[in-house]
Amino acid sequence: MDVRDLSQDNVPLDKSDNRRWCEYAVLMGLGLLVFGTNLGATRLWDVDEAIFSQAAVEMMQRGDLVTPFYNGQLFTHKPPFMYWCQIAAFHIFGRTEFAARFFSAIFGIGTLLVTYELGRLLFNSRTGLWAGLVLGSCINFAVIARAATPDAYLTFFCTLAMLVLVRGTRSRSVLCRSTGNAADAGRPSPEPFDNHPLVPWQPELPPSWLAYGIAYGLMAVATLIKGPVGIVIPMAVWGMFLLIEQLAAERSKRQLEPVEPRRESPLATTHFQNVVQSLCWFLRLFWPPYFLLTVWRMRPITALAVLLLMAGPWYLAVGLRTDGDFLREFFLVHNFGRAALPMESHRGPFFYYLIAICIGTFPWCVLIWPAMVHTARAIRAGDPARAGYLLITCWTCVWIGAFSLVATKLANYVIPAYPAIALGCAAAVDAWLRRDASLPYLAPLRRAWVSIALVGLGILIAVPILTRILFDGEISPALIGLVPLVGATIGWRYSEAGNIEHAVTALAITGVVFCVGLLGFAVLPVDAHKTTHLFAAEIQRNSIGNAHVATYKYSPPSLLFYSQIPFERLRSRDAVAVYFRDHPKHAFLVTTERAFGELTGYLPADMAVVRKERLFLKQENVVLLTRKTRMLH
């Protein structure tokens, strides 16, 4: 009997259900703690949070749920699903920072639960629980689950689509084994599905038409969040898995057939054979007939029909309302353009995402290498959960590989791969807890504690220096560095004592406390140095009736969100002169102090500085200008 048969999954149904609900409660509590603590305490961050939230506000004010606008202009960066959710939150909670971020936190918690279910089906319940814990305490995932950006939305729907495909495949597989007849796989089970003992996922039949339809429906929603990436990449993940799995099944079948013994050529050394076999395997994997057959088995017509049915109406409506302008700019600039050329200075080397993931998965990045080793060994050795390991490998490699080829690089682009990374790390933790001799724990954990302690020490040293430069000596955020130091010290003692359960628990607690402390509290004194909302309040205080606002060489989107007064971007000094000539009353200009010096001779003689504040995270001042005769006292 495999050691997995002795796991906590094979328990009476009532106890299993109770444990399952308890694990749901643990993950929901984790999500509420990490994603919900002081969620609305900080003001919106420029650029993404403010610009997306303002687009939702303008969509709400216009009463137009089809066409996104920002600052009165067509806004083609993203489809509207996130704006719809933010509008609903604005109606419930008001136009606040909490409302703008609310559904990001909800979908973040949802992703924890979906990841748990994936781990439970692919491996076992303990792996699922640890996967949720790992994901919920990864620093970058916690950031996006607290941010008014579309990444948490996209990650949830892509992960849920994977769960539907896995569940659809698993249920047919289990039913097939329970009846002993492949022809009965589509018939109703004589017992509820959950009454069957859980075993690692071993796909024997493809997902049903219904499972594919639901999964493609979820991917269609993802296209309403971020465009084609919402369906192209998840389909590529599943397709790559099917290609490899079917090829492996064919190879296993051939190995069972009797073969005639043959004399080996002197050149047929083991190394040479491995190279030739690997090359043949790769060519076979993407051989056109085999590749196209796999694509056909994924029901592409169903995918296209569901996509047109669910996402097509909005794309058609926005195309008609904007005479095709939205579609042209969205697809050509913000999809193909970003892939071909680095936009907004977001460039990086091919290995950019390897570094980004190492930082973004802190403190669990210390388990990535042991997880990779464990996954590779499990796939090679034919582990009972081999299919699960293969799926998360394809999931991770396709997401990271695809975006490594894209010219524009941002760390959040590969966030949908984080659930797969969390599942890999959780499987390694489960192997440690099972005392799997093939995966030693002491050396990896020693390296982990040293790395985590160095991060904490670096924070304690570097943050006071940075805050002294940027915030005039604010050092309280540096105290968060104590968390990794203390956690590493406690974890080291447990691992040296051989108490692996307490050691990995210490790592989890360190991650949770670090995320809550950093994102819920340490950012508060930093947020106090933001100044854009002060300029917005000053404009409202000094204006009578309709104010006119313009910016020159500094245009923060949060200025519009907090003032709700559209501003005009001025590109030249002549444009500034024309602006004040055309708007002699209640005209304001926001610019940097350096740019203000360039405007000598282009401004009215009675121009005055209404407010001057330090630019956030910069060693430069921002000024608000208006004419003295129009100021209120």
Mean pLDDT value across residues 563-585: 92
**Residue pair 30/508 in contact by the 8 Å Cβ criterion:** no
Over the stretch 103-147, which tens digit does the pLDDT of each residue have?
999 999 999 999 999 999 999 999 999 999 999 999 999 999 999
Instruction: Check whether 188 has a pLDDT greater than 60.
Output: no
CB distance 110 to 157 below 8 Å: no
Q: Tokens at residue 142, please?
A: 């916690």
pLDDT at site 584: 83
DSSP reduced 3-state for 69: strand
Q: Which of 631, 115, 2 is nearest to 424 (CA)?
A: 115
**Top-ranked range on mean pLDDT: pick from 15-24, 146-155, 532-541:** 146-155
| Average confidence (pLDDT) over 404-428 | 96
Contact between residue 590 and residue 554 where contact means Cβ atoms under 8 Å apart: yes
Give me the mean pLDDT over the 79-86 stretch. Answer: 98
User: In angstroms, how far apart are the furthest CA atoms of the chain?
Assistant: 101
Distance CA 531, CA 46 (A): 11
Asked whether the beta carbons of 480 and 524 are under 8 A apart, the reply is no
Q: What is the mean pLDDT of the chain?
A: 87
The whole-number pLDDT of residue 276 equals 62
Residue with tokens 């029909």: 305
Q: How many Å apart are CA 277 and CA 72, to the nearest integer?
A: 60
At 205 the pLDDT is: 74
Average pLDDT, stretch 537-566?
Answer: 89
Average pLDDT on 584-612 reads 90
What is the distance between the alpha carbons of residues 484 and 363, in angstroms, rounded to a whole number? 8
Q: Residue 250: what pLDDT? A: 63
Please state, in angstroms and rounded to a whole number, the distance separating the CA atoms of residues 95 and 365.
37
pLDDT exceeds cutoff 50 at 58: yes
For the chain, percent of residues with pLDDT exceeding 70:
85
- Specify the pLDDT at position 330: 95
The helix-helix angle for 151-179 and 209-226 (nearest 10°) equals 170
Tell me what the mean pLDDT of segment 417-439 comes to: 94
Tell me what the mean pLDDT of segment 346-366 comes to.
Answer: 93
**Contacts for 450 with CB less than 8 Å, ≥ 6 apart:** 488
More reliable by pLDDT, 559 or 7:
559
pLDDT band of residue 615 (cuts 50, 70, 90) is: confident
Instruction: Give the pLDDT mean for 553-582.
Output: 93
Q: Using pLDDT thresholds of 50, 70 and 90, give the confidence band for residue 249.
A: low
Instruction: Return the minimum-mean-pLDDT range out of 246-255, 539-548, 560-569.
Output: 246-255
pLDDT at 208: 87
Question: Is the separation of the CB atoms in 412 and 149 below 8 Å?
Answer: yes
Compute CA 339 distance to the chain's CA centroid, rounded to the nearest angstrom: 18
> What CA–CA distance (Å, rounded) separates 69 from 67?
7
Q: What are phi and psi of 390, to 5 degrees?
A: -65, -40
Q: Give the model's pLDDT for residue 353.
A: 95
Query: Pick the residue with more confidence: 315 or 618?
Result: 315
> Mean pLDDT throughout 233-240?
96
The closest of 81, 86, 109, 80 to 99, measured between CA atoms, is: 86
Neighbour-count burial for 564-578, b at 16+ CB within 10 Å, e otherwise? ebebbebeebeebbe
CB contact at 8 A, 603 and 625: yes
| CA gap 433, 97 in Å, rounded | 41
pLDDT band at residue 177, thresholds of 50, 70 and 90? very low
Q: Is the pLDDT of residue 412 over 90?
A: yes
pLDDT at 283: 64
Q: What is the pLDDT of residue 466?
A: 87
pLDDT (0 to 100) of residue 488? 97
The pLDDT of residue 269 is above 90: no
| pLDDT tops 60 at residue 395 | yes
CA count, 13 A, side-chain hemisphere, 458: 6
Write down the pLDDT at residue 19.
Answer: 87
Rounded to 5 degrees, φ, ψ at 590 are -110, 125
- What mean pLDDT is predicted for residues 280-287? 63
Domain boundaries, the chain: 3-175+195-252+278-433, 442-524, 532-630
Contact between 142 and 515 (Cβ < 8 Å): yes
Give the 3-state secondary structure of 293-317.
Answer: HHHHHCCHHHHHHHHHHHCHHHHHH
Tokens at residue 351, please? Answer: 């290995």
Instruction: Give the residue with greater pLDDT, 12 vs 335.
Output: 335
Q: Chain-centre distance of CA 77, in angstroms? A: 17
Q: Residue 499: what pLDDT?
A: 94
For the domain bounded by 532-630, which CATH number is listed? 3.40.190
Q: What is the mean pLDDT of residues 519-544?
A: 89
Predicted pLDDT of residue 476: 83
Segment among 82-86, 100-104, 402-406 with least mean pLDDT: 402-406
Confidence band, pLDDT 50/70/90 cuts, at residue 617: confident
Lowest mean pLDDT among 75-79, 283-287, 450-454: 283-287
If pLDDT is split at 50, 70 and 90, which confidence band does 352 have? Answer: very high
**In this model, does residue 387 exceed pLDDT 50?**
yes
Instruction: Say if residue 259's pLDDT is above 50.
Output: no
- Which pLDDT value is given to residue 199? 63
pLDDT (mean) for 38-44: 96
Percent of the chain beyond pLDDT 90?
A: 68
DSSP 484-497: HHHHHHHHHHHHHT
Residue 190 confidence (pLDDT): 36
Q: What is the pLDDT confidence band of residue 12, given thresholds at 50, 70 and 90?
A: low
Handedness of CA 294, 296, 301, 302 (dihedral sign): negative
Instruction: Judge whether 495 and 367 are in contact, CB under 8 Å.
Output: no
Consecutive H or E run containing 88: helix 81-93
Please answer whether residues 150 and 226 qualify as being in contact, where contact means their C-beta atoms are separated by less than 8 angstroms: yes
Burial of 414 per CB tally in 10 Å (0-12, 13-18, 19+): buried
Q: How far apart are CA 355 and CA 338, in angstroms?
A: 20
pLDDT at residue number 339: 84
Tokens at residue 115, please? 């990841």
DSSP code of residue 145? T
Distance between CA 208 and CA 159 in Å, rounded? 18
pLDDT band at 18 (very low <50, low <70, confident <90, very high): confident
Whether the CB-CB separation of 143 and 97 falls below 8 Å is answered with no
DSSP code for 442: H
| DSSP codes joined into one string, 191-247 | S-GGGSPP------SPPPHHHHHHHHHHHHHHHHHHSTHHHHHHHHHHHHHHHHHHH
